[in-house]
Amino acid sequence: MTSFAARAPVPAHADEPGLHSSASIPRHVAIIMDGNGRWAKARRLPRVAGHRQGVEAVRRITRAAREQGIEALTLYAFSSENWRRPEEEIGDLMGLLRHFLKNEIKELTREGVRLRILGNYRALKADLVELIDDAVARTATNTGPILAIALNYGAQAELVAAARRLAEKVAAGMPVSAIDEAAIDRELDTDGLPPLDLMIRTSGEQRLSNFLLWQAAYAELLFVDTLWPDFDGECLAQAIAAYGQRQRRFGGL
């Protein structure tokens, strides 16, 4: 597990935001944003306070990712398993999502960011779906970095849906031999995004939690102790510096 308080040495100045070489910068970073509840508990606050601070961290990291040259940032906001949480907490999370979409879309548009949504977000309440559709449409022609938000997302369900679509294509006449890795990629929610280079999970947990299982096949994994509400641009810069020290062989020598 990586602890940013006691990490391996990095190249000179590599821990300063914006000073990475282009070769060491991951094109696509995904983050499992974990630790909101523990952040609140440690301060004897309600869980929603942790989620509010988590939204502030989203703002910080979205901005920092742009500044540090990341092409695509994917954030795990709400999994298909999160419906098991208390109804009140789900309501708080959806309220914060509404607030984010209403208040951040102007900045995203101004910065040229394209918004993408992964997962079956249309299962959410109608007013929230309308907000999401509007935000995606308003940023669709932007040519800058991509912010992908995973909502009601589960990687296993994503793969099942891709398999079903391919089966339908085979039934319609597509040869089975046409099914390869690229064909599966095209059926996933991440179609059009750069290959996943780096996946970060905050809070010290070390599992993928049904997130981007196919896409993470050769991604570098980084598990850090920092709770999500405390994750900031410096933490992201340190994660990129750690990524830059990895030797990616993709099965070779």
Q: Quick: pLDDT tens for 191-236.
A: 999 999 999 999 999 999 999 999 999 999 999 999 999 999 999 9
**In the predicted model, is pLDDT for residue 134 greater than 90?**
yes
In this structure, what token pair is assigned to residue 250? 């993709």
Residue 48 CA to residue 52 CA, distance in Å, equals 6
Through-space distance between the first and last CA atoms of the chain, rounded to whole angstroms: 25
DSSP conformation class of 252: -
Residue 241 CA to residue 171 CA, distance in Å, equals 48
Average confidence score pLDDT of the chain: 90
**Coil/strand/helix, residue 220:** strand
| Residue 3 pLDDT level (bands cut at 50, 70, 90) | low
CB atoms within 10 A of CB 134: 13
| Residue 249 pLDDT level (bands cut at 50, 70, 90) | confident
Note whether 201 and 31 are within 8 A (CB). Answer: yes
Residues making up the annotated binding site for substrate are 35-39, 47, 51, 79-81, 83, 85, 201, 207-209
DSSP conformation class of 180: S
Q: What is the pLDDT of residue 10?
A: 38
Q: Mean per-residue pLDDT for 38-48?
A: 96
Which of 15, 34, 92, 189 is catalytic? The answer is 34
Residue 56 CA to residue 72 CA, distance in Å, equals 19
Label residues 37-57 b or e (16+ Cβ within 10 Å = b). bbbbeeeeeebbbbbbbbbeb
Note whether 10 and 245 are within 8 A (CB). Answer: yes
Region of 35 on the Ramachandran plot (φ > 0 left; ψ -120 to 50 alpha; else beta): left
Note whether 29 and 202 are within 8 A (CB). Answer: no
- Is 34 annotated in the active site? yes
Delimit the domains of the chain by residue range. 22-244
Which of 82, 120, 142, 210 is catalytic? The answer is 82
Q: Give the right CATH number for 22-244 from 3.40.50.2020, 3.40.1180.10, 3.30.365.10, 3.30.70.20.
A: 3.40.1180.10
DSSP conformation class of 43: T
Q: Quick: pLDDT tens for 139-190.
A: 999 999 999 999 999 999 999 999 999 999 999 999 999 999 999 999 999 9
Residue 36 CA to residue 43 CA, distance in Å, equals 11
Encoded amino acid at 49, one letter? A
Residues making up the annotated binding site for Mg(2+) are 34, 220
**124: which residues sit within 8 A by CB, 6+ positions away?**
94, 132, 151, 152
| Helix H or strand E encompassing 31 | strand 28-32
Residues making up the annotated binding site are 34-39, 47, 51, 79-81, 83, 85, 201, 207-209, 220
- Is 103 annotated in the active site? no
| Residue 21 pLDDT level (bands cut at 50, 70, 90) | very low
Note whether 238 and 7 are within 8 A (CB). Answer: yes
